[in-house]
Amino acid sequence: MSQAIKNADFQFPNQKGVYHGKVRDVYTIGANHLVMVASDRISAFDHILPKEIPFKGQVLNQIASISLAATVDIVPNWVLAVPDENVTVGRRCETFKVEMVIRGYLCGHAWREYKLGKRILCGVVMPEGMKENERFPEPIITPATKAEEGHDEDISRGEIILQKVISETDYLQLEGYTRKLFQRGTEIAAERDLILVDTKYEFGKVGDTIYLIDEIHTPDSSRYFYAKGFQERQDKGEKQKQLSKEFVREWLIEEGFQGLEGQQMPEIPDDFVQLVSDRYIELYEKITGKTFIKADTTDVFDRINKNVTAALKQLN
C-alpha cells in the first residue's frame, strides 16, 4: 500500500536533535551535518492542511536538488548528498537571519504595498505608474527577517547593516549572489517557456565561506508565470496564469478559509488531494523539463531510514 509522509520521527545515527517545520523536518547529525526530510505535508495561510499530498515532498526535494546543482558555479551550496527522493544531506551552516527576496515583477506583497500608495519597499524605490504584474526596470531586492514565529518582516539593506544583523561585507556578497542566481533562474525558466517572477534565497556560513542553503526555485519558494500569452493578458488587464501552489489557496478561499481567527479549516476531499498531487507532478515536469518518476512508497519510512543511514556512513 502506498504511503505519504505526514509525521515522522526518525532516529538516525549520531542524531543530536530535530526541528519539525511546516513541511520539512531537519535533523542535526553530529556537529557538522543536517538531514532535511521533505514531507508530504502542505501549508497555506500559515496552516498545515489536514491531509498530506502524495509525492509533494519528492517533487520539492528533487526540484531543489536540480536547481542547486545548476547554480553551484555561482555560489557553493550546502548539499553533500541526495540519498533518497525525499531527503537531502548537507553541511550545517550558521544561518544568516535574513531571507534575500528578489522581485522581477510587481506582484504579490510588493503590489499590495504599491496599491496602498507606497513607493519605497525595503529602502528600494519603485517607479511611478506601474501596473500589477509589470516588469521592474531591473529586479529589486527586498530582504525579510527570518521570524522564529509568525510572519517575516521587511527590512532594508541600511537597517541590516546598521543593526549588525549581517556585516556590510557579507551582505554585499549576498546581494551579488542573489542577482546572479536570479539571472540564472530566469534563463532556465525561459527555456521552459516560464517567467521567474520572484523568489527567495537563504544563505549560511561555515568559517569564512558563504553557502547557499535550503531549497531554491521550487513552486513553494518562487512564483512563476507562463510566458505564452503573458503580454496579451497584461495588455488586457487580465489575471496572469501562474505556476505555483496558488490554486490551493484559491480553493481554500472558495471554501471560506484564509487562516483568519474564527475560521474553520475545511474538510479536504480525496479527489482534491489527488488533483493537488497531479498538479505538483505537473509543476516538476514543467520546471525541470524531466519526466517525474514516482518513488516506491510501499514502506517509505523504512526506505528513507536505510538510504539516509547508508549516506551518513559515507560522510564519516
pLDDT in tens, 30-67: 999 999 999 999 998 888 999 999 999 999 999 999 99
Residue 247: what pLDDT? 84
151-186 per-position pLDDT tens digit: 578 999 999 999 999 999 999 999 999 999 999 999
Residue 8 banded pLDDT, cuts 50, 70, 90 = confident
CA angle 78, 303, 86 (to 5 degrees): 35
Q: Of 212, 205, 140, 199, nearest to 167 (Cα)?
A: 205
CA angle 76, 243, 276 (to 5 degrees): 105
Domain(s) of CATH 3.30.200.20: residues in the chain: 15-94+271-315
Q: State the distance between the two ends of the chain, measured CA to CA, in whole angstroms.
A: 35
Q: For the domain bounded by 96-105+137-243, which CATH number is listed?
A: 3.30.470.20
Given CATH 3.40.50.300, say whether it is the number of domain 15-94+271-315.
Answer: no
Cβ–Cβ under 8 Å, residues 169 and 180:
no
CA 141 to chain centre: 16
Secondary structure class of 107 (helix, strand, coil)? coil
Kind of pairing between the strands at 98-105 and 242-243: unpaired
pLDDT at 245 over 90: no
Question: What values do phi and psi take at 139, rounded to 5?
Answer: -55, 145
Adjacent-strand bridge partners of 15: 29
Q: Of 184, 180, 179, 190, nearest to 289 (Cα)?
A: 190
What's the CA gap between 20 and 235, in Å, rounded? 44
Signed CA dihedral, 262, 265, 267, 272: sign only: positive
